[in-house]
A and B are shown apart, each in its own frame.
Chain A
Amino acid sequence: MNRFLAILERDLRKFIRNPLVVAMSLLMPIIYLVILGNSFQGELKRLPVAVVDLDNGPYSRKAASLLHAVSAGPGTLEITRVADQGFAIEGLKEGVFKAVIVIPNGFSRDVLRRNLSEVGLYLDNAETISAMTVRASVTSALAELKNEFVSIREERAATRVRDMELYRKIDYDQTLIPGVVIMAIFLGAMTTGAFNMVMDKFLGVEESYFLTPLSKTDIVIGLIASGLLITTTLALIVLFLASLISGLFFWDGLSVAAFGIMLAVIILSTLGLQGLMFIIMGRVNHPRIVGVLGGFLNVILFFPSGAIYPIESFPGWLKVFAFVNPETYSVHAMRALLFKGAGLEAVQGDIAYLLVFAVCSVLLGMALFKRSL
């Protein structure tokens, strides 16, 4: 009993003696939140669009003012009037504009005669996301140009859609919180527990541990316990900091019971990943391999977890991967708890999966651990 606690104490002491590791373990997920939350924003803003009015009639002026309203209101577009079409297209090619809208000569006449009136939209479709946004924004702006005409070759929606948000307003960077917490857990699991075993092997220190009465279970449980303690603490600090930074104060919206469930999700996710690391790194004897594996595992666990992109849009093979990936369940559970005010019923499936995964991976990791040189 006392023995695994000695290993636990050893690891905790070694961890706090490396403040840079502590700092980076906290900083990395937070930086991720700040950079990703601000660069990869949910809604795009200030996309430069050139408007070339070749008609110069009443309806073309109205169309232009509707577009200006978009730039003044939601700010999705930034409209520049350009007299020469060739010059505007040149600007599009050079990346000055994301799109060029050409209102052709005779546009007002077509609108009045209720002919099919068309506006030309040149898109920089090398940037898919901004092209999609510009098209949607221009279409909806011009739809308001009375019913007399059909805008840019697209059928006007017969029914208007009014957004009814199910949960309280959530910003994009706030939706990243579960992902950031799971990233903190992953980094913690990567740099504690099994990693200490790899370092002991690399430094040749393990021999002296094997010479003592420590059993295989003492060693593995001690390493996992220290990793669990460190990683859970890191994850909670990251959750707190991410809350502060993104302005989603979880302590306002989360009941004590829900926070307890959240803690259980964090602990089970950590245990599962700790066990997984023991399975993967059981025979690794060089920290460089851990570095390479770290990047690799982060990509294959984090991105398919649904933390930044919905799983439903994945191709089939990736969905299968997401289905077995424990991080998927952690992210799902944390999202439900943080944003949807869900209780145990909503996340019990996630918890069950995480529990089974944790037990299996820890037992397998323990079985694979080799208590000999």
Chain B
Amino acid sequence: MLAIETVDLVKEYGSLRALSGVSLSVPEGEFFGLLGPNGAGKTTLIRILTTLLRPTSGTARVMGHDASKESGLVRALIGVVPQAMTSDLDLTGYETMDIYARFYGMRRRERGERIDELLEMVGLKDRAKDLVATYSGGMRRRLEIARGLVHKPAVLILDEPTIGLDPQSRHVVWELLESFRKADSLTILLTTHYMEEAESLCDRVAIIDYGKIAALDTVPGLKKQIPQKDSIELGISGVDMERAVDWAKSVPGITNASYRESSLLVSSDHGAEAIPALVDGLKSLGARVSRVVLKEQTLEDVFIHFTGRPIRDEEAKKVSFLLGAGVPAKWGK
């Protein structure tokens, strides 16, 4: 069964199209990443899947249930970790978990066991009786992940779960997500704009931009789709550079070669494997190799390839100045 399925999902805010026809299928048990620049439509898509928004057209299904027509059922099946920190500061970690478990109608004993288990896993057992206000950002995030899992959801949805966390906390969150996935055969949908996060966690990644899916594949599959390859830069001397370039182009696995001053620049599909052959060959030409720099193709190259460099025009947030958002910008002039 498909854990998440969207068909031609469109969401319009007035004249602005946040989503224009998104179709996705995520099978059960998959770790799926949604990558995209700010304002690309990631959060809108998440909010439709989590029943907070209704799509203008198209359908969104979670575990076979329509997110807008069967919102109650869907809410019971999903666990969500929103982008902003959403835990009450003046409750303890345990109370937060217990109160949420009750929203799902869990019985007292069942709650107690599940909460202990989860707090143990996220490493907050010793701090369970402390107020959330005393937690660091990383601890709060871990608590919110545990909170999202308290009712054993079928699908866990996280909206930029590691935003604003230090590298240590980020790695802890990654490890947690890996372990939860294995333990509960959970389907996980995660949005992020950390490439490293998508690369190390996700089975498949969709790159979303301007409300559309620009590419969707496994990480290695996405890398194959773009022309930029691994590049190798070799510092050489004692040989004619033109001759070295001509020779390099003839080496198997090398797709292109050029030079700049005393550096030979080579492109290859598998840069790391090509280095020994290049160094040996250049030596046999009588060249001396002083340094080798390998720059491997990353998911970031893929991301930039599909989304381009310009910063997005983001939709101005709608706020009411009457209710405390200050005066409109035009009055300030």
Cβ of A199 to closest chain B Cβ, rounded Å: 10
CA distance A18 to B324 in the complex (A): 25
CB atoms of A213 and B76 under 8 A apart: yes
CB-contacts of B213-259 with A (<8 A)? none
User: Residue among A14, A213, A288, A289 with the most chain B CB within 10 A?
Assistant: A213
CB atoms of A13 and B82 under 8 A apart: no
Residues 284-327 of chain B: 1 if any A CB is under 8 Å from the residue's CB, otherwise 0? 00000000000000000000000000000000000010011100
CB atoms of A13 and B90 under 8 A apart: yes
Chain A count of residues within 8 A CB distance of the other chain: 31
CA distance A127 to B88 in the complex (A): 53
CB atoms of A13 and B102 under 8 A apart: no
Residues 134-169 of chain A: 1 if any B CB is under 8 Å from the residue's CB, otherwise 0? 000000000000000000000000000000000000
> Which residue of chain A lies nearest to B90 when distances are taken between CB atoms in the complex?
A17
Chain B CB within 8 A of A309 CB: no
Judged by DSSP, the binding face of B is loop
Cβ of B73 to closest chain A Cβ, rounded Å: 9
CB atoms of A214 and B103 under 8 A apart: yes
CB-contacts of B31-78 with A (<8 A)? 47, 50-53, 72, 75-76, 78
CA distance A205 to B76 in the complex (A): 19
Residues 276-292 of chain A: 1 if any B CB is under 8 Å from the residue's CB, otherwise 0? 00000001111011000
CB atoms of B99 and A208 under 8 A apart: no
Contact of A285 among B53, B85, B324 (CB under 8 A): B324
CB neighbours of B82 from chain A (8 A): 207-208, 211
Contact of B323 among A10, A17, A18, A289 (CB under 8 A): A289
CA distance A5 to B101 in the complex (A): 12
Chain B CB within 8 A of A44 CB: no
CA distance A14 to B89 in the complex (A): 9
CB neighbours of B78 from chain A (8 A): 211
User: Residue among A210, A211, A284 with the most chain B CB within 10 A?
Assistant: A211
CA distance A208 to B148 in the complex (A): 9
Contact of B99 among A6, A210, A289 (CB under 8 A): A6
CB atoms of B102 and A5 under 8 A apart: yes
CB atoms of B324 and A3 under 8 A apart: no
CB atoms of A18 and B87 under 8 A apart: no
CA distance A286 to B325 in the complex (A): 8
Residues 243-268 of chain A: 1 if any B CB is under 8 Å from the residue's CB, otherwise 0? 00000000000000000000000000
CB neighbours of B26 from chain A (8 A): none
CB atoms of A213 and B72 under 8 A apart: yes
A-B contact count (CB 8 A): 81
CB atoms of A204 and B102 under 8 A apart: no
Given that A14-B91, A18-B90 are contacting pairs, would A213 and B103 also be in contact in the complex, using a CB cutoff of 8 Å? yes
CA distance A10 to B101 in the complex (A): 12
CB neighbours of A372 from chain B (8 A): 52-53
Cβ of A206 to closest chain B Cβ, rounded Å: 8
Given that A9-B99, A211-B80, A372-B52 are contacting pairs, would A205 and B324 also be in contact in the complex, using a CB cutoff of 8 Å? no
Chain B CB within 8 A of A212 CB: yes
Cβ of B324 to closest chain A Cβ, rounded Å: 3
CA distance A373 to B324 in the complex (A): 16
CB atoms of A211 and B84 under 8 A apart: no
CB atoms of A3 and B102 under 8 A apart: yes
CB atoms of B324 and A211 under 8 A apart: no
CA distance A3 to B76 in the complex (A): 13
Cβ of B77 to closest chain A Cβ, rounded Å: 10
Cβ of A285 to closest chain B Cβ, rounded Å: 6
Given that A10-B91, A13-B91 are contacting pairs, would A208 and B80 also be in contact in the complex, using a CB cutoff of 8 Å? yes
CA distance A17 to B53 in the complex (A): 34
Chain A CB within 8 A of B269 CB: no
CB atoms of B323 and A286 under 8 A apart: yes
Chain A CB within 8 A of B104 CB: yes
> Which residue of chain B lies nearest to A212 when distances are taken between CB atoms in the complex?
B103
Given that A17-B131, A207-B52 are contacting pairs, would A284 and B323 also be in contact in the complex, using a CB cutoff of 8 Å? yes
CB neighbours of B131 from chain A (8 A): 17
CB neighbours of B51 from chain A (8 A): 211
CB neighbours of A289 from chain B (8 A): 323-324
Chain A CB within 8 A of B15 CB: no
Contact of A14 among B53, B75, B90, B144 (CB under 8 A): B90
CB neighbours of A6 from chain B (8 A): 99, 102-103
CA distance A235 to B131 in the complex (A): 29
CB atoms of A211 and B90 under 8 A apart: no
Interface pairs (20), CB distance under 8 Å: A3-B105, A9-B99, A10-B88, A10-B91, A10-B99, A13-B91, A17-B90, A17-B131, A203-B89, A205-B87, A207-B82, A208-B87, A208-B144, A211-B80, A213-B72, A213-B103, A213-B104, A285-B320, A285-B323, A373-B47
**A interface list, Cβ under 8 A from B:** 2-3, 5-7, 9-10, 13-14, 17-18, 203-205, 207-215, 283-286, 288-289, 372-373
Which 6 A-B residue pairs are closest in the complex by CB-CB distance?
A286-B324, A208-B86, A6-B102, A212-B103, A17-B90, A211-B80
